[in-house]
């Protein structure tokens, strides 16, 4: 804890100075900067080589902090009560007098926000006098980082500091729900569609906007390991890495398991770590067996389809 305290102090120093740092969250590691500062948030886009039109998710400590920037309604409170802090983001109306930098929202009147549950990052947010804009700490379109060493692999010395919070427990990005008009899911992620739908009306299907209509033209390629990926494969080619959903009795050198026993949550957690491992082994391509399209399987398939484009 002592070590954490001195690291948190370091983090605060950098952030108060308009620098970007790596932070752990339960979903993936973030590249964080003061969301109220134009200078700090511009650096996020430059470091990630992220298109300016792709808005950032802002991370808050408490409802009181959030109230300064956003308009909140009943739907928001229902979901907040059930899932926060945790791997869910909301698109909300921005208040006219909010201090959020225009870089964060791409000058829109809406903003994506979330309350991360990771203890270290909550301790940091509690002390700071501003919320943190934090997209995943990877170069645009690449695999998201789930540990401090992944962040260092992405940015090397280009960022001066990363808080070490161990491996991300969820391992995939947050589920994004838009609460502008009728609630809709904009991105599948760390909370299953089903659990969110249940909060509104039993068994009511929420619209899932597959193409991000709020951010037109956002690249479809994402989460890419930089080599071809083939989906729904039964038999891999000889020189190919093969990703399987559950452990088999027999094994081969090129076999990678996402979970021990077909557990889709565990598989989601291990997805980016596995892709990164394979990328380093210099395989020429990746084959993946069919993954059931239910629960976290839906999130995994969403990422794999984009990674394979
Ligand atoms: P990332 O930072 O890579 O996890 O991605 C953040 C996601 O949030 C992107 O898909 C954005 O399009 C989405 N997002 C952020 N702000 C907004 C907003 N104001 N309206 C709609 N989507 C948003
Ligand atoms: Mg990302």
State yes or no: pLDDT of 205 exceeds 60.
yes
Structure tokens at 158: 């280009």
For residue 50, give the ligand 1 atom closest to its CA: 3
Q: What are the φ/ψ torsions at residue 136 (nearest 5 degrees)?
A: -60, 145
* Residue of 60, 112, 132, 183 to test ligand 1 pocket, by largest number of atoms within 8 Å of CB: 112
pLDDT tens digits for 47-72?
999 999 999 999 999 999 999 999 99
Predicted confidence band of residue 162 (pLDDT cuts 50, 70, 90): very high
Neighbours of ion ligand 2 (CB under 5 A): 136
Identify the pLDDT of residue 3.
Answer: 75
Domain range annotation of the chain:
5-171, 229-308
Structure tokens at 272: 């980016």
State yes or no: pLDDT of 88 exceeds 90.
yes
- Mean pLDDT of all residues belonging to the chain: 93
Bridge partners (DSSP) of residue 288 are 243
State yes or no: pLDDT of 12 exceeds 50.
yes
Identify the pLDDT of residue 204.
Answer: 63
Pocket of ligand 1 (CB under 6 A): 54-57, 91, 105, 108, 110-112, 135-136, 173, 176, 186-187, 212, 214-215
| pTM check: above 0.85 | yes
Q: How far is the CA of 214 from the centre of ligand 1 (A)?
A: 9
Cβ neighbourhood burial of 244 (10 Å; 0-12, 13-18, 19+): buried
Identify the pLDDT of residue 211.
Answer: 54
Residue nearest to atom 19 of ligand 1 (CA): 111
Identify the pLDDT of residue 287.
Answer: 97
pLDDT tens digits for 178-193?
999 999 999 999 999 9
For residue 28, give the ligand 1 atom closest to its CA: 4
Pairing of strands 184-187, 110-114: unpaired
For residue 134, give the ligand 1 atom closest to its CA: 2
- Residue 113 CA from chain centroid, whole number: 12
* 61/216: higher pLDDT: 61
Structural domain 5-171, CATH architecture: Alpha-Beta Complex (3.90)
Predicted confidence band of residue 309 (pLDDT cuts 50, 70, 90): confident
State yes or no: pLDDT of 208 exceeds 60.
yes
Residue nearest to atom 21 of ligand 1 (CA): 214
State yes or no: pLDDT of 225 exceeds 80.
yes
State yes or no: pLDDT of 92 exceeds 60.
yes
């Amino acid at each position: 804890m002592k070590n954490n305290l001195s690291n948190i102090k370091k983090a605060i120093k950098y952030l108060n100075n308009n620098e970007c740092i790596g932070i752990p969250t339960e979903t993936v590691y973030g590249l964080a900067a003061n969301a109220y500062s134009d200078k700090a948030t511009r650096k996020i886009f430059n470091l990630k080589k992220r298109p300016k039109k792709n808005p950032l998710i802002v991370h808050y400590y408490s409802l009181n902090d959030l109230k300064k920037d956003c308009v909140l309604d009943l739907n928001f409170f229902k979901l907040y009560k059930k899932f926060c802090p945790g791997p869910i983001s909301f698109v909300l109306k921005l208040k006219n007098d909010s201090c959020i930098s225009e870089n964060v929202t791409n000058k829109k009147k809406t903003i994506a926000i979330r309350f991360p549950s990771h203890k270290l990052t909550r301790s940091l947010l509690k002390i700071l006098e501003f919320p943190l804009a934090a997209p995943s700490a990877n170069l645009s379109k690449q695999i998201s980082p789930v540990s401090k060493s992944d962040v260092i692999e992405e940015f090397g010395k280009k960022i001066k500091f990363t808080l070490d919070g161990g491996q991300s427990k969820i391992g995939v990005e947050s589920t994004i729900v838009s609460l502008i008009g009728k609630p809709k899911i904009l991105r599948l992620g760390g909370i299953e569609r089903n659990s969110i739908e249940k909060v509104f009306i039993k068994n009511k299907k929420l619209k899932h906007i597959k193409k991000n209509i709020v951010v037109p033209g956002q690249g479809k390629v994402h989460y890419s390991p930089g080599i071809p990926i083939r989906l729904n494969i039964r038999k891999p080619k000889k020189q190919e890495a093969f990703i399987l959903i559950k452990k088999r009795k027999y094994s081969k050198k090129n076999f990678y398991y996402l979970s021990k026993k077909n557990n889709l949550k565990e598989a989601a957690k291990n997805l980016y770590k596995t892709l990164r491992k394979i990328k380093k082994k210099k395989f020429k391509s990746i084959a993946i067996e069919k993954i059931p399209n239910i629960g976290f399987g839906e999130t995994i398939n969403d990422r794999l389809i984009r990674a394979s484009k």
